[in-house]
Amino acid sequence: MTEIKPTNCHFCGYCCAFLATVEDGRVVSLEPDPTRYPYDERILAGCRRWKMNLDVLDGPRRVNYPIKRAGERGSGEWERVSWDEAFDDIAGRLTGLRERYGSGTLASMIGGPHASFWPLHRFMSLFGSPNNMGIGQICWNPRIWMDAITFGWTVEADIRFGLTRALFIWGTNPAQSDNSAFWQTIRAVGASDDMALVCVDPRYTQIAAIADLWLPVKPGTDCTLALAMLNVIVSEGLEDAEFVGQWCHGFDELVEHVRPYTPEYAGAFCGVDPQDIVKVARLFAEGRTALVSGRGIDQVGKSVAPTHRAICCLRAVTGNVDREGSCILAEASDFTSEVDFELSDLLTDEQKELCLNTPFAPLQCFEGYDLVREQTEKLGRRLPMRYMTSASPDLVLKAMETGEPYRVSALIVNATNPLLTYADTNRVYRALMGLELIVVLDYYITPSAAVADYVLPCAGAIERPIFQIHGGVANTGYGGPAAVEPYYERKTDYDIFRELGLRLGQGQHWPDETLADAFATQLAPTGWSWQDYCAIGIYHVPPAPEKHAMLRADGTPQGFATTSGKIELASELLPKLGGQRLPEQGPFMRLCSEGLVARLSERGGHHVEMLTGSRKQPYNASMYLDNPKFRARTPGPVVEMSEAMAENLGFAAGDTVELETDFGKARFTLALAPMRDDVINVDYGWWHPERGVPHAPDFGGIWESNVNTLTSCEMQEQLIGTWAYNAIDCMITKVDDSLTWDTI
């Protein structure tokens, strides 16, 4: 029997809609579905990933059955087991470890986009452990925290042709990071005479190439740049005086605070032309301005919270908050929110006290969450608790290594590859090798799965439904149904955590038998059925602008959900946590000791600033490296630098170079790219999946060109616990050895 089934791709966060031709339960072809969100022929024409779906669905490297370690950890010896055997053994071992060490002994790591976060978070909550790790502290959390503290909730850019005067793209490159509808919007802005486009980035990205103005800011100096823009705006009287007077708290303090941040001072510190700072400041204040920031400013250590706060202040003093054409305060969701589905409120006070972050990151913990929750609930909104309290890898690794303040002995890894994507690979490896139980949910035996006790086959694209809500901080969800039941013995992550939960006595909290049933339950408050949603691929209620001015029943304006009821340029909450009342530039993270610099300088090495982690289509983190077409175009990992920098250092394109810090070393091929002349940009996530199942000692080549052998997850920022992948240093030296990378 042949059927046409709606389904979705999972190879990026946009989850584009497709129609699958299914014959006898197997997908035989896949075509774009123009009837469902977020169809755009320009996106699909430029996307090289979606055509992988059929190959990946039944690819030779897929894990199709539960497997258990048969030899020494990392030996590459596995045996097939039944699901019941795996579930019973894992549940039994987790029960024993909890009895011996307490509920905090279990930690987790999660990635995406081929997973739903809340099933794992629910399982962790019901187990009683706060030790879920992710990338929130360096990706999403900083902006969400600072938006919520400054405005009372998070904001999103509202770009409208004919209304928006300028669009600032700050520290992100959507042309490479997602190939989304947003990139198509930016391209249209670049071709428009009615909307100016400004790119703030050390690299001359595809955004910079079409921008009206490119500010090649020195990595990690973004806070100073924003404060200098504020200096220009207030010194020239360009602020929106009416909006500031009615809706902003602490303006006079801010004026005094930014006085030293002149364009001349910032130009020297940030490495940009002072006149360009003046230009962009005036442009920002000229009319309705939209701004989109990215991980480039989320990964700068001690400056991350101040940078986002300074950007919040820029928006506020120019009146570009909750305003059409600039940014809009998001609405609470009509559907059941992420925070309600993760069941974090079921953690006891004793279990919350196990939070490792509390003394070191007083915002990114339950106490900090409760302070912000008191504010956001004034307007009936709550941030997802698990994201905003996720454990610092630095502290969890310490608990694995030392048993302090208690022993972390078990780890669940869901859809991520921490030996490639987490900072300080050597430390992560040592910590994982000392654990008593590691369970990995994934498509493949990755280098990280290679050190596991169990690898559980996870259903992915086409095999699982999607309701993507990005933490539940807005009234939007998108995705669709599975086209087929999971092949072989694969299961969705929801099925896996539910089955484990049932064996651990969590049954009453897993009432929905399937993930689709759970999504239907989540949608129920909207009045929509799961079938209604799947028919169009999106549930979305556009947020209303100017919500702060709406009148309550008593005739007073709603205002903002902050301590003062206004936008807090000067924060009343942050000082309670040891934070800054007004944003200030922080110092940079240094990875190279004086001894290392001196020793390698004698050997011809050079001490340079480094960026890491920038996206590069069609790859994503450590994924898709075994695609022959992709590798033919981008065959190996590179270090990029400008032509002028290469000439100054005596390097040439194609040279093999070795990067080193006090944490480790890695080798790359040198490539030339337009960017600042004092910064290098290093690829990440590279390994050799084409070599077969990874195992000791090289684990698929992770020690050769893995930039995270150089980095550190040491907490640099005092509120959230952010570490640094940008605004860091390394030594670079030319070497004669060739690398092992080539096309496959």
The pLDDT tens digits of the residues spanning 246-258 come to: 999 999 999 999 9
Task: Report if residue 1 sits inside a domain.
Answer: no
Residues 86 and 211 grouped into a single domain: no
Q: What percent of the chain has pLDDT over 90?
A: 85
pLDDT over 80 at 743, yes or no: no
3-state helix, strand, coil in the chain (%, to 5): 35, 20, 45
Say whether 204 sits in a helix, a strand or coil: coil
Residues 344 and 362 grouped into a single domain: yes
182 band by pLDDT with thresholds 50, 70 and 90? confident
Task: Report if residue 41 sits inside a domain.
Answer: no
**Domain range for 240:** 155-329
Domain end, chosen from 273, 295, 329, is at 329
pLDDT over 80 at 617, yes or no: yes
d(CA 18, CA 44): 11
Residues 636 and 513 grouped into a single domain: no
Domain end, chosen from 329, 362, 382, is at 329
Q: In what order do the strands lie in the sheet with 166-170?
A: 213-215, 196-200, 166-170, 289-293
φ and ψ at residue 503, rounded to 5 degrees: -75, -15
pLDDT at residue 704, as a whole number: 96
169 band by pLDDT with thresholds 50, 70 and 90? very high
Longest CA–CA span in the chain (Å) reads: 76
CA distances from 550 to 146, 396, 546 (A): 23, 45, 7
DSSP-derived pairing of the beta strands 248-249 and 567-568: parallel
Lowest-pLDDT choice from 292-296, 419-423, 454-458: 292-296
The arithmetic mean of pLDDT across residues 520-545, rounded, is 95
pLDDT at residue 189, as a whole number: 84
pLDDT over 80 at 202, yes or no: yes
**248: domain CATH number?**
3.40.228.10
pLDDT over 90 at 695, yes or no: yes
d(CA 572, CA 393): 29
pLDDT over 80 at 179, yes or no: no
Domain count, the chain: 3
pLDDT at residue 46, as a whole number: 78
pLDDT over 90 at 281, yes or no: yes
Task: Report if residue 639 sits inside a domain.
Answer: yes
744 band by pLDDT with thresholds 50, 70 and 90? low
pLDDT at residue 445, as a whole number: 97
Task: Report if residue 49 sits inside a domain.
Answer: no
**126: domain CATH number?**
3.40.50.740
Residues 322 and 384 grouped into a single domain: no
Residues 394 and 477 grouped into a single domain: yes
pLDDT over 80 at 566, yes or no: yes
Residues 186 and 267 grouped into a single domain: yes
Task: Report if residue 563 sits inside a domain.
Answer: no
- pTM, entire model: 0.96
Task: Report if residue 248 sits inside a domain.
Answer: yes
Q: In what order do the strands lie in the sheet with 437-442?
A: 78-80, 67-69, 454-457, 437-442, 410-414, 106-110, 132-133
**723: domain CATH number?**
2.40.40.20
CB 37 within 8 A of CB 480: no
Residues 494 and 612 grouped into a single domain: no
Residues 125 and 200 grouped into a single domain: no
Residues 659 and 724 grouped into a single domain: yes
Per residue, the 3-state secondary structure of 566-599, as one string, reads CEECCCCCHHHHCCCCCCCCCCCCCCCCHHHHHH
The closest of 222, 204, 319, 290 to 567, measured between CA atoms, is 319
Task: Report if residue 268 sits inside a domain.
Answer: yes
Residues 212 and 321 grouped into a single domain: yes
Residues 80 and 177 grouped into a single domain: no
Domain end, chosen from 521, 540, 559, is at 540
**Predicted confidence (pLDDT) per residue in 50-94, tens digit:** 889 999 999 999 999 999 999 999 999 999 999 999 999 999 999
- What residues form DSSP beta bridges with 492? none
The arithmetic mean of pLDDT across residues 42-46, rounded, is 79
Residues 477 and 363 grouped into a single domain: yes
Task: Report if residue 172 sits inside a domain.
Answer: yes
Polymer length in residues for the chain: 744
Class of residue 531 by CB neighbours under 10 A (exposed 0-12, middle 13-18, buried 19+): exposed
pLDDT at residue 718, as a whole number: 87
The closest of 206, 52, 46 to 629, measured between CA atoms, is 52
d(CA 357, CA 373): 18
The arithmetic mean of pLDDT across residues 502-526, rounded, is 97
- To the nearest whole number, what is the mean pLDDT of the chain? 94
pLDDT at residue 43, as a whole number: 79
d(CA 199, CA 215): 6
pLDDT over 70 at 112, yes or no: no
pLDDT at residue 114, as a whole number: 63
The closest of 439, 411, 436 to 81, measured between CA atoms, is 439
The closest of 243, 223, 279, 153 to 580, measured between CA atoms, is 223
φ and ψ at residue 499, rounded to 5 degrees: -65, -40
